[in-house]
Amino acid sequence: MNRSSATGSRPLRHPALRSAFPAAALPVAVLLAFALAGCSDPDGGGAHGEPELGEVAVAPATSSLSMPLDAYTDTDAETVRMGQVQQRLLSRCMARYGFPYEEVRPSDPAGAQGPEGRHRALFGAADPVYAAAHGYDMTAGKGRPVKPPAAPLSESATLVMHGERPGGAQGATQPADAASEEEAARVDSGIDFGGQKVPPGGCIREAYRKLYAPTKDSVDLLFPFGLASQAHERSKDDSRVAEALKNWSACMEKSGYTGLKDPYEVVQTLGLEADPGGPKAVTAAKADVACKREVNLVGIWAAVEKAYQERLVEEHAETLALYKKQREVRYKLAAGLL
């Protein structure tokens, strides 16, 4: 099975490698990519066991990585936009009950990452230029948006916003809620205000349901994220990733950083939390990235994770197709509200 590379480079061909380069002259990363490209699991890449890999790119830039589930997940900018839509729906609901509501603007999308940056930190530090400049500080250059404190709500506005009376007695019956807006039409919240029924869960839940769960067959917003997380967890246990991590750990030890099992524990293990962009962090991050490139950790791990995602996409094709249609409906709603 031959799949396109995350970097768009041509597949590594065994004969070409043998004829063009003596094995001893090839970098470790190239040899690993060559060896792994043809690896398959004992079950032949079936529903169980380790999946067969396509091409394993050599030290790919994380900005170039793409995964099958990307087609079902929003970029940072799209997430900000949908947050604005949800706030607009909340404002409209509150207005029905006579309450002006100042929309809370989500973080400025200008600093958000587009599709090319969504996997930048998937395998920890990976960009040599960024590591040399900022170490492990993933927020460098973005700034931290300061949100003004929201105006306190009156007791009546809180009732409408959340659909529950403040200071309810402990052990009292939980306020009514609904999983979808379709179901909400048949649920009595038990709360009236100004001659109108407050929606189940209040305006805050109504806004969410109108955007993400309008009908009873609405697919959970986090469904694709859950599949991506599942693929990532499976990839961490894959023997090919385990071997690459072992090689990365050995490389880091040679650089003076002992006891590291995976890239996610570097900052904590080395005590860099207080200053992730400081000199010590920069030195460690440069070694980290260099070791990743030496053993091709990103190329191997990305190929393995992609294979697990492809398997999950195939297994959940029907649900994902429905999710994608519903996502398009959300975008149309957003276009009409913003």
pLDDT digits (tens, 9 = 90+) for 204-262: 999 999 999 999 999 999 999 999 999 999 999 999 999 999 999 999 999 999 999 99
Share of the chain above pLDDT 90, in %: 69
pLDDT of residue 66: 95
Is residue 300 classed exposed, middle or buried when 0-12, 13-18 and 19+ CB atoms within 10 A define those classes?
A: buried
Cβ atoms within 10 Å of 124's Cβ, excluding its own: 22
pLDDT of residue 312: 98
pLDDT of residue 240: 98
Confidence at 103, pLDDT banded by 50, 70, 90: confident
Coil, strand, or helix at residue 244? helix
pLDDT of residue 13: 30
Site of tokens 């043998």: 18
Tens of pLDDT, residue by residue over 73-102, are 999 899 999 999 999 999 999 999 999 988
Assess whether pLDDT exceeds 70 at residue 263: yes
Distance in angstroms (rounded) separating the CA atoms of residues 240 and 32: 10
Contact between 301 and 67 under an 8 Å Cβ cutoff? The reply is no
- Name the helix (H) or strand (E) containing 224: helix 223-237
Contact between 184 and 200 under an 8 Å Cβ cutoff? The reply is yes
CA-to-CA separations, 107 to 81, 117, 231, in angstroms, rounded = 10, 17, 29
pLDDT of residue 147: 62
Assess whether pLDDT exceeds 60 at residue 294: yes
CA-to-CA separations, 221 to 226, 327, 338, in angstroms, rounded = 10, 9, 21
Assess whether pLDDT exceeds 90 at residue 105: no
302: left (phi over 0), alpha (psi -120 to 50) or beta: alpha
**Stretch 307-311: mean pLDDT, rounded?**
98
Residues 6 or more apart whose Cβ sits within 8 Å of residue 71: 324
Assess whether pLDDT exceeds 90 at residue 4: no
More reliable by pLDDT, 168 or 175: 175
pLDDT of residue 14: 31
User: Across-strand partners of 197?
Assistant: 192
Cβ atoms within 10 Å of 152's Cβ, excluding its own: 7
Share of the chain above pLDDT 70, in %: 77
Confidence at 20, pLDDT banded by 50, 70, 90: very low
Nearest to 205 by CA among 89, 46, 62, 315: 89
Please tell me whether the overall predicted TM-score, pTM, comes out greater than 0.85 for this model.
no
Assess whether pLDDT exceeds 70 at residue 16: no
Distance in angstroms (rounded) separating the CA atoms of residues 185 and 32: 58
